[in-house]
Amino acid sequence: MRKSRFTEEQMVKILREADRSPVAEVSKKHGVSEQMIYTWRKRFGAMNSDEVNSSVWDFNIGR
């Protein structure tokens, strides 16, 4: 599997930014497609902030 350019923590930060600004603007700023932001939303959208933080914590410890 191909390694992502962004860590899960970075993805969450970009998603939080996209909640406050237009997705098109955020995607251009970070060099990702709008579709990728929507895919990340789908992936992380079902999690509340505690679960996302826990997921990022587990991910970072596993390295």
- State pLDDT tens for residues 11-50: 999 999 999 999 999 999 999 999 999 999 998 886 655 5
pLDDT at 45: 80
The total number of residues shown for the chain amounts to 63
Cα-trace Rg, the chain: 12
- Inter-CA distances, 36 with 18, 52, 54, Å: 12, 18, 22
Answer whether 15's CB lies under 8 Å from 33's CB. Answer: no
pLDDT at 63: 46
pLDDT at 49: 55
Closest among 63, 53, 58, 61 to 11, alpha carbons compared: 53
Query: Which one is predicted more confidently, 5 or 2?
Result: 5
